[in-house]
Amino acid sequence: MERFEGYIFTALCSTNFLISCLLFSKITREQREPYMDEIFHVPQAQKYCHGKFNEWDPMITTLPGLYLVSVGVIKPLVWLADLTGKVVCSTAMLRFVNLLFNSGNLYLLYLLTCKLHLREKTKSAARRILSSLSLSTFPVLYFFNFLYYTDAGATFFVLFAYLMTLYGCHKAAALLGVAAMLFRQTNVVWVAFCAGTLLAGQLDEAWRTDHTKKRDERPSQVPLSLAGARRVTHFLLEFLLSPARMGALLAVAWPYAAAGAGFLAFVALNGGIVAGDRASHEACLNAPQLFYFLSFALCFSLPTTLCRHRLLRFLQALRRKPLLFLLLAAAGLLLVWNFTRVHKYLLADNRHYTFYVWQRLFQRHALARYLLVPAYVFAGWHFLDSLRSRSLFWTLAFLVCVLGATVPQKLLEFRYFIVPYLMYRLHAPLPSLPRLLLELALHGLVNAVTLYLFLAKTFLWPGSTHTQRFMW
């Protein structure tokens, strides 16, 4: 049975790669020259292709992971095929590297699905395979497989690092985490997440050991109340202040600590987390970014998570704890009022979908951003309810990392939501086959519309002859 599943998955990978290659060919023919951020990435990669490793474009904000991997992949192919140097540095050849990452992401998503849902091994192989395919076609990620951006590679190394963590290969996971940070510095959050899962596992074990009086008690069943919060806080402080327990944790998690220390050293020497163009990429406290992500996750997970029973549970929760939800709404209103940050790129660049979301939703009326707070509360409840099968301490670690990945970002950019969403969707219960087909259809439709707009609905800026295209 497992061998048959392997054959099916291999055939699926081949078909996926073939379709992606056909789309890649069409996109590259239509947009031969570097577009958007490619005008920085492609020339820098071309310098690396020609051995000019000491030259750097100060407008590039990320580290050179993408360019180093590109040279490492393309150069051997050129030597084997005896191709000319011109092909090495072509935009199409550099973009093709991301198609390889696309295939790798599909494989990693399949392995993660099998590992995370190991207890559901008896369930249909089609569900595991279809879930992996659906996630690999996640629209924001899938679109950037065809351009020379860092997203495909950054996602690949984050997923690979987390897979190694789940299998207990912590040194390899930390090295892969460093590679992920070389693609995008903010991936340090997901290296911390890998370490956080170890901490959560030890907390779960300690909690079970300390609370064995009730056989049916689980970490996720702590009552949502002040008493429950005090209970968990006291337990966490007791655990973290225990030299024996922290020593045992550090004995396993030291590779992640070393990677984190290396990152802090880089920040100190660099004078900040951003490699270049710091004036346009400043970290700030933009709390509503969490609300945007929760809404984003709700929209894309509707086919697999939303159902009548969940809506009924939400209404029951409202009736049981109205004061709690009122406090959450009030906190949301205060955060929106005091911590909304709007980046100049969001207001000026009409090539991105976020420009139109902000213009037609948030700027429609001065009260629009406040009227959305009830929707944020539901999106947050839905997000947590979808993860109710996970332990309390794992959920806390994940939420801290989601906060770290979203809130410091001033620019509303859907690409920043790729890894948090994939982690969320991977850890939610494995959907049924009809729901997976519905999710795959949604992804296919959004991808088709996005590629159509990118290829067919071009426009010109006043005073410019360069063709502009819509994109994420």
- Per-residue pLDDT band for 226 (boundaries 50, 70, 90) equals low
Q: What's the confidence (pLDDT) of residue 71?
A: 92
Q: What angle do CA 465, 98, 469 make, to 5 degrees?
A: 25
Residue 45 CA, distance from chain mean position = 24
Ranges of each domain in the chain: 1-148, 150-215+247-277, 282-431
pLDDT higher than threshold 70 for residue 228:
no
271: amino acid identity, one letter: G
CA neighbours closer than 13 Å in the CB half-sphere of residue 248: 13
Q: Are 99 and 261 in contact (CB under 8 A)?
A: no
Judged by average pLDDT, the poorest of 210-214, 323-327, 380-384, 438-442 is: 210-214
- Per-residue pLDDT band for 220 (boundaries 50, 70, 90) equals very low
pLDDT higher than threshold 70 for residue 81:
no
> Of 471, 449, 438, 454, nearest to 134 (Cα)?
438
65: amino acid identity, one letter: G
> Of 345, 362, 359, nearest to 413 (Cα)?
345
pLDDT higher than threshold 50 for residue 461:
yes
pLDDT higher than threshold 70 for residue 87:
no
**What integer is the mean pLDDT of 417-444?**
96
pLDDT higher than threshold 80 for residue 404:
yes
**What integer is the mean pLDDT of 2-9?**
78
Residues 6+ apart with CB under 8 A from 363: none
This prediction has a pTM of 0.93
Q: What's the confidence (pLDDT) of residue 85?
A: 47
Q: What's the confidence (pLDDT) of residue 219?
A: 46
Q: What's the confidence (pLDDT) of residue 283?
A: 80
Distances in whole angstroms, Cα of residue 335 to Cα of each of 118, 154, 198 = 39, 30, 32
Q: Residue 378, Cβ neighbours under 10 Å: how many?
A: 17
